Structure formats: C-alpha cells, structure tokens
C-alpha cells in the first residue's frame, strides 16, 4: 500500500518556470518604490512585527498555502521589484526566492534584499544526523554500586557530531566553546568495562549530568536534562566542569579528578553550513530571535531614519519568542513521554533537538514524499510501543487545512488504540480560520502547536 502525502494538492498559484520570468522585467519606477515583500508566512509575520507602521510588508504566498514547493505567479517578480525590501531564505527549498533575490541584488539599487539565513551557519542541522550517538543501550541489568566506566564519548546534542571523549581518566576534546547569551547542549554514549552502553534519560536507570568542579559558576549555567546537558553562557569565562552519571539521585560516576574546561566566548568563529542543511530554521524560537535581529538590521539599512524603531520593535518581539521557548521547556519537563508520532514531513528536528523529544515521521523533509507499507507498519508499531493516544498531523498536507486529516491519520486510528488526532503546523502558512483570528507565528505556536504537543506527549 502506498499513500500519497499530498494527493492532488496544488503547490501554488502559478506553474510558471523561473526561466520564463527571469529577464522579462521592465525597469521598475524606483522613485515610487514603497513597502516590501516577504517570501512566506513566518518571514512576513516577523517583518511586520519589526516594521510596525513604517514599512508595509506583504506576504508573497496567499493564505491557505504553504511555502514549501510553492511556485510564483508570473507578475510577482515585477511587483516585488517595485518595492523597497525583499525578505527571504537563501536555500534551494525556496528556489524561486533565491532567483528573485539574485536578480534584485544585481539589477535594482533601490531595493534592500534581506537573507534570513545570513549568520545561521553555526545553528544549521544536516538532514542526515545519524551517528554513534544513536547507539542502542544494552539491556544489561547494571549495578550502580559496582559500575566501572571506561569510556564516555561526547556529542553535540543538536548535530550529532562527536566533540570529545573521556577514556580511563584522559580527555580528548571536550565541551565546545559556549557563545555568550546562547547555549550548547551535549549528550554522551557511556560504556562500562565490558563495552556495554548505559541507558541515559530522565526515565532511564542513569541520568547524564554535569557540575562545576571547583564551585565556580560565574558566567556559565548548567542544566542537566537526563540524556543531555545544556551549558548557557551569561558572561565570558573559563571554568572546570565535571561530567557525572546519576542513579537514584546519587552520583555514581564523575570526572571531578580530571574535569574538562568549558569556555564562554563573545561569539563563535563562523563555520561552514552542513551539506544538505535542513531549511526549517523558522520552527525554532531561539533561532527565530537571530532572524528577527537580521530583519531589523535589514530594515534599518533600507530606512535609516527609523533604525531605533526597528531595534525597539525587534527587542519587544524577541521577548515573545523567549516566552515560547520557555513554554517548550515547561512542556517537556511535565511530559509523560518523549516520543510522538507525526503524519507529515520531517520539518521539526530543530525543536526536537533543542528540547529533547522525538517526532517519528514516515518520510523525509519533503512534503511530496510517498509513504510505503513499511513506513505505515513502523508507525503502527511505534504507536503501540509507546502507548500513544494522539496522532499529530500537518493541516497543510490535506485538501482542506481547516477540516481534513491526512490518510495516514485514519490508518493509524483504525489500526491502533490511538483515539484522536491534533494538528501540528510547520508555520509555513496560515489557514483562513487562523488568519481571521489574527494568528501570527507566536499565536500558531501557543494556540496550535504547544497544545497539540502537550496532548501527544502526555503533558496535559
């Protein structure tokens, strides 16, 4: 059995190729240029939040449509060229916007083109992150009192990249530098003297933790979350940190005699973006704060007289994004499980990696992937294994975003003991209902996604 993930859904208002549009523009009247455009919903919402009443920003994609795979109508490029600002993501998943931006930058001096991917290289995740961090723990019945740890390999929690290791009291590498006013999350694969991998997690026998080796805590905050540890930089510093294993509330192993050093730096050196980077950066409320600042800087470049307004509006809106971040942390802390099933394309790994839960999907990052019978069987098994009651789905992968559910949802409800479903929006667009209710990015998160995740993860 194969189920089409989007059926006969229309991708956009026009099927005109970029090649047919390129080179067909007459010179716009730059003296009358005003307003601006954003490439899709989240960028539009953030731009209007930052702009306030100074520059009118339009969404290039209409209500009820999602940004992924959309193609522009024939007159859109000319309309945007007659404005002052174009806000977009420089990623091939939005190829039409990339093409437009290149043309605007080369030919129209009156326009300010704002690339919201700019400066995000250190935040980007690859689409394939499977590494040794995914090693299955042993089913051995460990005795914490006789436990002998010989190896601990550290991994960046978000990317899965190995960053250091501890072997019989000796360190190679360690916790990466922590940027000021930002965080680094580390997880580990810990092995005993027999080479068995220990289970780590809030609900497992052991919890991975860290503590200041010498009582120093100025400039660095440490939060242990069961299977990973988060280091947050509050001031530039360098401190000694011991990694720990905790069982039944007691520390059963630590590296206090040979601690690692954690350094908080003003900013990280820019790194190359991973190959095949996941474009769904707009999902993450922490990354969103950086994008909002980028938008504010771009609008100030286009309209220097109102720089202070854009800075103030951005700062005020970032407070709202910080509140969403806190709600995600509270959700995970009160959840009964860390696993949910999502009948949609894999667009949430940024928040999965940041907050420590898993959304199992039947396919990759493209909404146009096809589900196989093997995919469906695996999803059924996951629902049964984790005693899941609520199936999550993408409302934009249906014929009617306000009413229908994808076929996969009906299959799972028929074949398992799950009893209901809940929408989880990728925030690529806005439904008619949400638009009438005045929903922006924050409102979709607070009124749709967070409540649905609470149901799916048992945090109600």
What element of type H or E holds 452?
Answer: helix 450-457
Clarify whether residues 170 and 254 are in a common domain.
yes
Range 416-419, long-range pairs (CB < 8 A, 24+ positions): 416/380, 416/383, 416/384, 416/388, 417/383, 417/384, 417/387, 417/389, 418/383, 418/388, 418/389, 418/390, 418/391, 419/389, 419/390
Nearest Cα to 43, choosing from 27, 59, 32, 20? 59
Residue 229 forms part of a structural domain: yes
Residue 273 forms part of a structural domain: no
**Tens-digit pLDDT string for the chain (460 aa):** 333 333 323 333 333 344 444 444 555 555 567 899 999 999 999 999 999 999 999 999 988 887 767 889 999 999 999 999 999 999 988 999 999 999 999 999 999 999 999 999 888 888 765 556 777 898 899 999 999 999 999 998 877 889 999 998 889 999 999 999 888 999 999 999 999 999 998 889 999 999 999 877 789 999 998 889 999 999 999 999 999 999 999 999 999 888 999 999 998 876 665 667 889 999 999 999 999 999 999 999 999 999 999 999 999 999 999 999 999 999 998 999 989 999 887 889 999 988 889 999 875 444 455 566 777 888 899 999 999 999 999 888 776 655 678 888 999 999 999 999 999 999 999 988 999 999 999 999 999 999 999 999 999 7
Q: Is residue 68 classed exposed, middle or buried when 0-12, 13-18 and 19+ CB atoms within 10 A define those classes? A: buried
Domain range enclosing 256: 132-265
Clarify whether residues 113 and 137 are in a common domain.
no
Place of tokens 């999550």: 392
Beta strands in 8-148 (DSSP E): 36-38, 57-59, 85-88, 112-115
- Please tell me whether residue 47 adopts helix, strand or coil conformation: helix
Clarify whether residues 250 and 349 are in a common domain.
no
- The confidence score (pLDDT) of residue 178 equals 94
Clarify whether residues 234 and 164 are in a common domain.
yes
Residue 429 forms part of a structural domain: yes
Residue 97 vs residues 88, 100, 347, 396: alpha-carbon distances, Å: 6, 5, 19, 21
Clarify whether residues 138 and 106 are in a common domain.
no
Cα angle 64, 449, 120 (rounded to 5 degrees) comes to 85
Residue 257: which CATH number?
A: 2.60.40.1080
Residue 274 forms part of a structural domain: no
Residue 99 vs residues 17, 19, 151, 358: alpha-carbon distances, Å: 11, 9, 49, 35
Clarify whether residues 388 and 311 are in a common domain.
no
- The confidence score (pLDDT) of residue 3 equals 36
Clarify whether residues 22 and 86 are in a common domain.
yes
Clarify whether residues 307 and 246 are in a common domain.
no
Residue 331 forms part of a structural domain: no
- The confidence score (pLDDT) of residue 402 equals 56
Residue 382 forms part of a structural domain: yes
pTM: 0.79
Clarify whether residues 172 and 290 are in a common domain.
no
Clarify whether residues 186 and 211 are in a common domain.
yes
The count of domains in the chain is 3
Clarify whether residues 37 and 144 are in a common domain.
no
Last residue of a domain, one of 321, 353, 385: 321
Clarify whether residues 10 and 103 are in a common domain.
yes
Residue 365 forms part of a structural domain: yes
Bridge partner list, 162: 155
Residue 30: which CATH number?
A: 3.40.50.1980
Cβ atoms of residues 157 and 186 within 8 Å: yes
Residue 329 forms part of a structural domain: no
């Amino acid at each position: 059995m194969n189920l089409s993930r989007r059926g006969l859904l229309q991708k956009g208002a026009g099927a005109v190729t970029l090649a047919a549009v390129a080179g067909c523009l007459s010179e716009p009247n730059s003296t009358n240029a005003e307003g601006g455009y954003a490439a899709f919903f989240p960028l539009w919402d953030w731009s209007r939040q930052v702009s306030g009443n100074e520059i009118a920003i339009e969404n290039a994609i209409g209500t009820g449509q999602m940004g992924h795979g959309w193609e522009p109508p024939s007159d859109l490029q000319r309309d945007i060229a007659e404005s002052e600002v174009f806000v977009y993501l420089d990623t091939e998943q939005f190829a039409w916007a990339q093409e437009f931006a290149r043309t605007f930058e080369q030919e129209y001096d009156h326009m300010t083109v704002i690339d919201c991917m700019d400066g995000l290289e250190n935040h980007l995740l690859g689409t394939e992150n499977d590494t040794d961090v995914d090693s299955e723990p042993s089913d051995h019945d460990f005795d914490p009192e006789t436990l002998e740890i010989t190896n601990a390999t550290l991994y960046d929690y978000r990317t899965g990249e190995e960053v250091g290791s501890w072997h019989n009291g000796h360190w190679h590498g360690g916790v990466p530098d922590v940027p000021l006013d930002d965080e680094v999350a580390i997880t580990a694969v810990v092995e005993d003297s027999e080479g068995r991998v220990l289970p780590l997690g809030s609900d497992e026998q052991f919890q991975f933790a860290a503590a200041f080796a010498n009582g120093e805590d100025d400039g660095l905050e440490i939060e242990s979350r069961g299977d990973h540890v988060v280091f947050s930089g509050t001031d530039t510093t360098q401190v000694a940190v011991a990694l720990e294993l905790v069982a039944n509330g007691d520390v059963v192993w630590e590296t206090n005699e040979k601690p690692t050093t954690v350094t908080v730096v003003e900013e990280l050196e820019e790194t190359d973006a991973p190959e095949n980077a996941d474009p769904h950066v707009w999902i993450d409320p922490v990354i969103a704060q950086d994008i909002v600042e980028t938008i504010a800087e771009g609008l100030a470049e286009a309209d220097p007289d109102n720089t202070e307004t854009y800075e103030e509006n951005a700062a005020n809106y970032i407070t709202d994004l910080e509140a969403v971040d806190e709600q995600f942390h509270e959700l995970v802390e009160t959840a009964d499980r860390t696993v949910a099933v999502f009948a949609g394309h894999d667009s949430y790994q940024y928040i999965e990696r940041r907050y420590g839960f898993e959304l199992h999907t039947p396919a990759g990052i493209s909404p146009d992937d096809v589900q196989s019978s093997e995919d469906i069987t695996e999803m059924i098994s996951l629902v049964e294994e984790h005693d899941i009651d609520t199936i999550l789905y993408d409302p934009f992968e249906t014929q009617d975003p306000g009413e229908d559910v994808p076929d996969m949802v009906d299959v799972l409800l028929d074949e398992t003991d799950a009893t209901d479903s809940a929408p989880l929006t990728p925030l690529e667009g806005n439904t008619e209902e949400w638009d009438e209710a005045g929903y922006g990015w924050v409102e979709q998160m607070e009124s749709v996604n967070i409540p649905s995740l609470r149901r799916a993860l048992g945090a109600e």
